Structure 1
Amino acid sequence: MKKKVLFVCLGNICRSPMAEAVFRHRVKEAGLDHAIEADSAGTGDWHIGHPPHEGTRAILDRHAISYEGMRARLVAEDDFETFDYIVCMDDSNLRNVRKLQPKAGQLRAKLYKFMDFVPESAVTDVPDPYFTGNFDEVYELVSVGCDKLLERIKADLAVAGR
């Protein structure tokens, strides 16, 4: 069974689609696209159906990373059954996703904060470039975090394969 990752930010046009695109790129480079899938969603509905923000698209273009077909959507309750990892870009997103989490039954998804995969970093939340304008900083954080997350999932796949 494929491991599935959902990246979550506020509007699903800057941070989470950047993480989705970078992560998909890393997964493909590792030859693991048969075993790992990624998606992204937001906790707010302002940008539903929109492509990633122009700043996200520009930095992904600079790094030759595809974002083709990506459109903003909301986190849904059934995402907790569809995904193995729901990775929130900051504390606020994590709190909002927890509010949506079904209370009953065994859930497939485990919730994480993105920067928890980079414990050596002094940064604990991925800043929102929609407000800061600093897409380069976000790309650097996302790049390191996606590498660490991929290492974690590869280890999880190895354990599951035993």
Structure 2
Amino acid sequence: MVKVLFVCLGNICRSPMAEAMFRDAVKREGLEGEIMVDSAGTGDWHIGQPPHQGTANILKTNSIEFEGIKARQIQPKDLQEFDYIIAMDSDNKKNIAKLQSDFSKASVEVLLDYVPHIKDKNVPDPYYTGNFQEVFDLLKQGCEKLLQHIKHEHVLE
């Protein structure tokens, strides 16, 4: 089982949106038994809360299920349990790196690093910008490329 964890700041906007979108793509590819998806935040402000209303709205508009997603904070053990930890921006990646130890096995990357033609690799935080559509569009590209990468790396069809 390939395990993927999406991480943003509070785990109510970007990472739960990516989790839901990636899970939807995995399901469409028939890979639910091969790939497990979760999300977390580097901060603890929203633990236990559902996705932000803006995230919920755009996922509903695009018929993407997100039921059961609740905010949680990333833990050091996540770096041992997940294969891919995918940060939404470089600050998230730096905060994740602080949790790394000799026992960490996860590859920690920024999602948009998988999309070569996009120059700014940071997914903007719609909690501050309010632009959930822009984030959705960026995550869609990133999730598609990440899934292609994982399918190739792990020879999944």
TM-score norm. by structure 1 comes to 0.94
User: In structure 2, what is the Cα distance between the partners aligned to 1:95 and 1:30?
Assistant: 32
Secondary structure of the residue aligned to 1:137 is helix
Instruction: Give CA deviations for 1:15-51 in whole Å, capped at 9, x if unaligned.
Output: 0000000000000000001100110000011100000
User: In structure 2, what is the Cα distance between the partners aligned to 1:68 and 1:125?
Assistant: 26
Query: How much has 1:122 moved relative to structure 2?
Result: 2.1
User: In structure 1, what is the Cα distance between the partners aligned to 2:152 and 2:30?
Assistant: 15
Query: How much has 1:80 moved relative to structure 2?
Result: 0.9
User: In structure 2, what is the Cα distance between the partners aligned to 1:17 and 1:11?
Assistant: 10
Give the match for residue 136 of structure 1. 133
Give the match for residue 86 of structure 1. 85
Secondary structure of the residue aligned to 1:11 is coil
Q: Does 1:157 align with 2:154?
A: yes
Structure 2: runs of 5+ lacking an equivalent: none
User: In structure 1, what is the Cα distance between the partners aligned to 2:122 and 2:43?
Assistant: 18
Count how many residue pairs are aligned between Structure 1 and Structure 2.
157
Structure 1: runs of 5+ lacking an equivalent: none
Give the match for residue 67 of structure 1. 66
User: In structure 1, what is the Cα distance between the partners aligned to 2:115 and 2:30?
Assistant: 23
Q: Which amino acid aligns with 2:123?
A: V
TM-score norm. by structure 2 comes to 0.97
Q: Does 1:101 align with 2:100?
A: yes
Secondary structure of the residue aligned to 1:27 is helix
User: In structure 1, what is the Cα distance between the partners aligned to 2:36 and 2:13?
Assistant: 19
User: In structure 2, what is the Cα distance between the partners aligned to 1:137 and 1:38?
Assistant: 22
